[in-house]
Amino acid sequence: MQADLPEEIEWRREAGQVPYRKALEEMELRNRAIAAGEARELVWLLEHPPVYTAGTSADRSELLDPRFEVVEAGRGGRYTYHGPGQRVGYVLLDLKRRARDVRGFVHALEGWVIATLGDFGVDSWRAPGRIGIWSRDIDGREAKIGAIGVRIRRWVTMHGFSVNLAPDLAHFGGIVPCGISEYGVTSLARLGIELAPEAWDEAMLAHAGDFLAEIASACGETNA
Annotated active-site residue 219? The verdict is no
Which residue among 46, 106, 178, 215 is the active-site one?
178
Q: What are phi and psi of 97, to 5 degrees?
A: -90, -10
Nearest to 46 by CA among 211, 185, 188, 163: 163
In total, the chain counts a number of residues equal to: 224
Please tell me the distance from the alpha carbon of residue 71 to that of residue 68, in angstroms, as a whole number. 10
Is the separation of the CB atoms in 180 and 130 below 8 Å? yes
Is the separation of the CB atoms in 90 and 43 below 8 Å? yes
Is the separation of the CB atoms in 74 and 56 below 8 Å? yes
List, by residue number, the catalytic residues. Answer: 178
